[in-house]
Amino acid sequence: MTDFWIYFKIGLSHVLDINGYDHVLFLIALTVPYAFKDWKRILLLVTLFTIGHTFALLLSVFNIVTVKATLVEFLIPITILVTAFFNLFTAGKSSKQESITFIGAITVFFGVIHGLGFSNYFKSILPGNPSEKVVPLFEFALGIEAAQILVVIAVLLLSFIVQTLFRFNKRDFTLVMSAFVIGVVVPLIIENPIWKR
């Protein structure tokens, strides 16, 4: 049980680490178009992201996939930017209630990219052969899922407060928050070492 809490807490801190806020930015962009009444859809999207993230770590742990860290560190803010721009173009439209297939597939893909970004560190903290890393990996995934749910609840609470107390409509809140995310993530893309070849 002690080992479970160790890896569960690593998963929590991976998402909630103030220095690694890219994960939180992605969750903000993913959540802002929704309200509490959409909790099933949000939970599905968050879980799909965790599945993609965990799948990427599994591929990495078994050395099936290795990706240059600089490339992944460039792609992570791109995934956040794409999600935020998607919100800008769909804010206030009824498409949010339609099929989840497209956004679900994109969310899994983005989870894979984010998982690859964490793979080198994850492998370094786990001694032993790949098969010994599988159980800790799933304990870590549970920590990620729990932290993501906490972030989603915080975003939904903020949305509710802003819309109720300050009379913001949902569309405006989505546009403002997505623009905020874009404003934070564009400098990360511009300053990425990939441009300094």
Length of the chain: 197
Helix (H) or strand (E) holding 25: helix 22-31
Q: What is the pLDDT of residue 46?
A: 94
Contacting residues for 88 by C-beta, under 8 A, at least 6 apart: 175, 178, 179, 182
Tokens of 68: 């240059």
Q: What is the pLDDT of residue 99?
A: 62
* Coil, strand or helix at 34: coil
Q: What is the pLDDT of residue 123?
A: 78
Q: What is the pLDDT of residue 98?
A: 56
* Coil, strand or helix at 118: helix
Q: What is the pLDDT of residue 61?
A: 85
Q: What is the pLDDT of residue 101?
A: 78
**Contact between residue 82 and residue 145 where contact means Cβ atoms under 8 Å apart:** no
Q: For each successive 10 residues of the chain (197 residues), what is the average pLDDT? A: 85 88 92 92 94 92 84 91 92 63 86 88 77 88 95 96 90 95 95 83
Q: What is the pLDDT of residue 161?
A: 94
Q: What is the pLDDT of residue 128?
A: 73
